[in-house]
Chains A and B, each alone.
Chain A
Amino acid sequence: MLSPTLVLVLSFGYLLLLFAVAGWADRRAAAGRSVIGNAWVYALSIAVYCTAWTYFGSVGRAASGGVWFLPIYLGPTLAMLVAWVVLRKMVRTARAQHVTSIADFIASRYGKSPALAGLVSLITVVGIVPYIALQLKAVASAYQVLTVPLATAVPAPGPWWSDGTFYVALALAGFTMVFGTRHLDATERHEGMVAAIAFESLVKLVAFLAVGAAVTWWLFDGPADLFARALADPALAPLLRLEQGQRFPFAQWFALTLLAMLSVLLLPRQFQVMVVENVDERHIRRAAWAFPAYLLLINLFVLPIALAGLMHFQGRPVQADTFVLSLPLDLGWQGLALLAFVGGLSAATGMVIVEAIAVSTMVCNDLVMPLLLRWARVARRAELTGLLLAVRRGAILVVLLLGYAYYHLAGEAYALVGIGLISFAAVAQFAPALLLGLYWKGATRLGAMAGLSAGFAMWVYTLMLPSIGKSGWWETDFVAEGPWGLALLKPEQLLGLTLLDPLTHSLFWSLLLNVGLFVGLSLSRAPGAAEASQALLFVDAGRGAAQGQPVFWRGQAQVADLQALLARFLGPARANRLLAEHAASRGLAADLPLPADAQTVQFAEQQLAGAIGSASARVVVSKVVQEESLGLDDVLRILDEASQLRRYSQELEAQRQRLEQATAQLRAANERLESLDRLKDDFMSSVTHELRTPLTSIRALAELMVDDADMPAVQRQEFLRIVVAETERLSRLVNQVLDMAKIESGHAEWHDSELDVAAVLRQAVHSFQETLRERGTELRLSLPVAGQRPLIRADEDRLVQVLLNLLSNAAKFAPAGKGRIDVRLQVAPGALTVEVQDNGPGVPAAQRELIFEKFRQGGGDAHRPQGTGLGLPISRRIVEHFGGQLFLRADSGQGACFAFTLPFSDNPTPAPPEATAGAKGDFP
């Protein structure tokens, strides 16, 4: 037991710390260095889901039901699996529509209906007040556990003015007012508050893990020891099993999972931190897994603490709900007990603060303001900012006092766990209208109203009333017997449905009726213009650019009226600044009057929606402008125009891309043409150069003979012989140029047939034999054994041309008198190779590729050989035409070795029989 003063000082000290954290975050935000622009902070703030109910109640539940505390955390994990799809859509839509609460979201979706907004707010208040009471109760009992000796009777709370819990509620109201309603923001974001909540999430996680670890490793010898001892106890062992001695109620397991799955999106505080306070939708990526991971961590030690408590307090009347505190306290770990208390305080205060902000926003915007604005005296007031803030603050105070009243009157009667689930079931009623409305354009206001009302009524009848009845305020006869004794109307066994537990039963009937009416009535009548236009904005949220969003408004307005309206709710300075920003965002000059068109009206309405909710904003805007009511046809037409605009801009973009592609292609083609042009110029100049050399010598000799009529006949004969030789060279050159041009242009004629390369080789070598003998050069021909010479398909004349070219090159470079040329034919899989090797000087490495270019000859200028410089390029083209390659072997040793490959024709026929006679043999 600890001194009450110590606990009180610690509690208020902790609240002051929260103030400091929130104030620090607000100052950072004002300085432009936001702390909540961080995905981790966002994920931690979502952990406001874990309230005192988790902190204390999970252990209580685990102590009686084993793993039954888990569905409440598995459900949110499942929901977060699709957060990137569903939650992101909610965030995008809420941002585009300046939505400030879940009531606003639903009302806005169904044509900004004030009635729907009011209904959702009402359901929220009724459903959430008990939940707030539960947090106050948790703080109060935690305080008692610390300050009253264990297992003694807890004194009943005194009158409210002497009850510490009352002052806790007031302190929380104060905190919430300071950080929740300091100013009216069009986005309704609260940096300081979010930072404080994230901090609290960290505190409660650390505190709970500390208690869990201490119990597991100090009190016991690790988890294995703890579980072994629990399993040895026949009373505890079943807690670790699925079927605890009876058939496992899977329907209830599923219902709890579903309930928690919906609640994590629909509870007002969750909507507040996840949707309204989201600053960057990319944060969802991290939060989607980090928040479930947080849930897993904080639940890791629930079973160990519950089992440890049951074993430790065996026989003593200590409530399992308090094990987190009473275990460390009873073991004398006072510091740990205080830490655990601060953790519980974090869990409770975090929930109360965010919930109070969210609920007060709804109460103010959707319940109080619509009534006040109807009141002429208020509607005429020039300045409403102060009034709005006062209403907000009043709503916060009222919500907390309601929570306190509920706790004071009924709190003692019911365990923590029950109250939480009742609230979950209330907000689950929003699921059809909100989630289906996000994806189904046909959903209507009528369907949403009817579904919500019926679901809520069913919830009241089957869950709320029986729970109040059980708390002793009420005759319980109607629960047990049914109203007026009608058994079919028994609230927990409606129409005789006895198979389900009360919660599953209520959830089933309320959601069945809710969805049934929602879908049925939506289908019965087409949505009106306002509903249809909002449906389009919600369902298609995030598709296409913001500029492409259609504006569903038509009428006449004065900018001055809109400005005055904005000034009344947001203050004159902010109104002017907002309109200037709007003008700038549309690219309009600041000094020109703003056009009073649909876009401006929509902008003003959205800014107001951020302050007073979309439904109220719609009402006040419609009072200062002359609107033409839009029919469904108009909505469709406007939508058509907008989508046409979007299509035009998409087409424009596509055109631009096509144009860029075409330009790139043209540029490439042009570059290729230019390089070809350069090649052609080079070729022409080479050809003329080659033609000029023999022409010059012919002309010189002819002139000599003309000038000198007395030239001796022998010399004249010699000159004429040279002239003839040069002429031959000229015609050879011209022929080769023509040949090259024909091959390159693809106009050459090819007479392909099946050839035996060995025979062609023999023939070519034979016809060249004479020339070689004159130069004293020896030639050796190596052919593979017969049968290994598959046929190839080629033009025989062309092949001979290639061979003669290679042979004449070899002969040219082989040293006179002791030259040697080797011609080899080799067969490899798929192709055969012909090699022609000489024992000349070889080709320098630098010229290996150059010699295959036109008019480049090997050997250097010093002893430029006879030839046109076209032989090798033509040969290479020919070989390439046959599908092979002509190249110079780099590793040929002495001399030059030219080789070319020829692929076999597709269906080789056996070599002709006579070729077998010419087995590998040497030619002389």
Chain B
Amino acid sequence: MPARKPHDQSGQRLLALFAAGLLSLNFPLLALWDHPVTLAGLPLFPLALFGLWALLIAVLAVWMESGHGPD
């Protein structure tokens, strides 16, 4: 039986990502994107929401597929 790692750093990393996601998708950080501007013809606010969302998924995908996280 392998000894447990003293600190489950990778589990904590997921929790940190969770905290980052919760903060960036709520008040007041979400309000930062609320401007009547378009980017490549797309309105900024929905674009930012989907962009943040995709970013979270991408980071999680890289971590999960590269075997991060406690065993």
Q: How far is the CA of A264 from the CA of B18 in the complex (A)?
A: 15
> Is there an interface contact between A286 and B53, defined as CB atoms closer than 8 Å?
no
- The residue in chain B whose Cβ has the minimal distance to the Cβ of A66 is B46
Cross-interface CB contact of B11 among A74, A85, A543, cutoff 8 Å: A85
> Is there an interface contact between A292 and B60, defined as CB atoms closer than 8 Å?
yes
Q: How far is the CA of A74 from the CA of B56 in the complex (A)?
A: 10
- The residue in chain A whose Cβ has the minimal distance to the Cβ of B35 is A241
> Is there an interface contact between A80 and B50, defined as CB atoms closer than 8 Å?
no
Known: A85-B70, A285-B64. A250 touches B53 (CB 8 A): no
> Is there an interface contact between A296 and B60, defined as CB atoms closer than 8 Å?
no
Q: How far is the CA of A242 from the CA of B61 in the complex (A)?
A: 28
B interface, how many residues as a size bin? 35 or more
> Is there an interface contact between A82 and B14, defined as CB atoms closer than 8 Å?
yes
| Size of A's binding interface in residues, CB under 8 A | 44
**Nearest chain B CB to A751 CB, angstrom units:** 53
Cross-interface CB contact of A242 among B11, B40, B45, B70, cutoff 8 Å: B45
Contacts of B60 in A (CB 8 A): 80-81, 288-289, 292
Q: How far is the CA of A82 from the CA of B67 in the complex (A)?
A: 14
A254 contacts B by Cβ under 8 Å: yes
- The residue in chain A whose Cβ has the minimal distance to the Cβ of B58 is A289
A70 contacts B by Cβ under 8 Å: yes
**Nearest chain A CB to B57 CB, angstrom units:** 5
A376 contacts B by Cβ under 8 Å: no
- The residue in chain A whose Cβ has the minimal distance to the Cβ of B12 is A85
Contacts of A222 in B (CB 8 A): 41
**Nearest chain B CB to A304 CB, angstrom units:** 10
**Nearest chain A CB to B66 CB, angstrom units:** 10
Q: How far is the CA of A250 from the CA of B34 in the complex (A)?
A: 13
Cross-interface CB contact of A228 among B14, B18, B21, B41, cutoff 8 Å: B41
> Is there an interface contact between B33 and A286, defined as CB atoms closer than 8 Å?
no
> Is there an interface contact between A78 and B22, defined as CB atoms closer than 8 Å?
yes
- The residue in chain A whose Cβ has the minimal distance to the Cβ of B15 is A82
A151 contacts B by Cβ under 8 Å: no
Q: How far is the CA of A807 from the CA of B26 in the complex (A)?
A: 86
Cross-interface CB contact of B42 among A82, A227, A296, cutoff 8 Å: A227
> Is there an interface contact between B1 and A545, defined as CB atoms closer than 8 Å?
yes
Contacts of B33 in A (CB 8 A): 242
- The residue in chain A whose Cβ has the minimal distance to the Cβ of B26 is A254
Residue interface bits A274-316, CB-to-B below 8 A is 1, else 0: 0000000000011011101100100010010000000000000
A908 contacts B by Cβ under 8 Å: no
> Is there an interface contact between A241 and B50, defined as CB atoms closer than 8 Å?
no
- The residue in chain B whose Cβ has the minimal distance to the Cβ of A249 is B27
Contacts of B64 in A (CB 8 A): 84, 285-286, 288-289
> Is there an interface contact between B61 and A289, defined as CB atoms closer than 8 Å?
yes
> Is there an interface contact between B69 and A231, defined as CB atoms closer than 8 Å?
no
> Is there an interface contact between A77 and B36, defined as CB atoms closer than 8 Å?
no
Contacts of B14 in A (CB 8 A): 81-82, 84-85
Q: How far is the CA of A82 from the CA of B54 in the complex (A)?
A: 16
Contacts of A237 in B (CB 8 A): 36
Contacts of A241 in B (CB 8 A): 34, 36, 43, 45
Among A248, A300, A545, the most chain B Cβ lie within 10 Å of the Cβ of A248
> Is there an interface contact between A303 and B27, defined as CB atoms closer than 8 Å?
no
**Nearest chain A CB to B31 CB, angstrom units:** 6
A649 contacts B by Cβ under 8 Å: yes
A650 contacts B by Cβ under 8 Å: yes
Residues of A397-416 at the interface with B, using a CB-CB cut-off of 8 Å, are none
Cross-interface CB contact of B69 among A67, A227, A253, A285, cutoff 8 Å: A285
Cross-interface CB contact of A224 among B1, B26, B41, B65, cutoff 8 Å: B41
> Is there an interface contact between B1 and A227, defined as CB atoms closer than 8 Å?
no
Q: How far is the CA of A228 from the CA of B36 in the complex (A)?
A: 12
> Is there an interface contact between A243 and B57, defined as CB atoms closer than 8 Å?
no
Contacts of A108 in B (CB 8 A): none
- The residue in chain B whose Cβ has the minimal distance to the Cβ of A250 is B27
Contacts of B4 in A (CB 8 A): 543
> Is there an interface contact between A292 and B50, defined as CB atoms closer than 8 Å?
no
A875 contacts B by Cβ under 8 Å: no
CB pairs A–B below 8 angstroms (18 shown)? A81-B17, A82-B14, A82-B15, A84-B70, A85-B69, A222-B41, A224-B40, A224-B41, A231-B43, A240-B45, A241-B45, A250-B26, A254-B27, A257-B26, A285-B67, A288-B60, A293-B57, A543-B4
Interface residues of chain B, those whose CB is within 8 Å of chain A, are 1, 3-4, 11, 14-15, 17-18, 21-22, 25-28, 30-31, 33-34, 36, 38, 40-43, 45-46, 49-50, 53-54, 56-57, 60-61, 64-65, 67, 69-70
A-B interface, 7 closest residue pairs, ranked by CB to CB distance from nearest: A224-B41, A250-B27, A289-B61, A242-B34, A240-B43, A285-B64, A81-B18
Interface residues of chain A, those whose CB is within 8 Å of chain B, are 66-67, 70, 74, 77-78, 80-82, 84-85, 222-225, 227-228, 231, 237, 240-243, 248, 250, 253-254, 257, 285-286, 288-290, 292-293, 296, 300, 303, 543-545, 649-650, 653
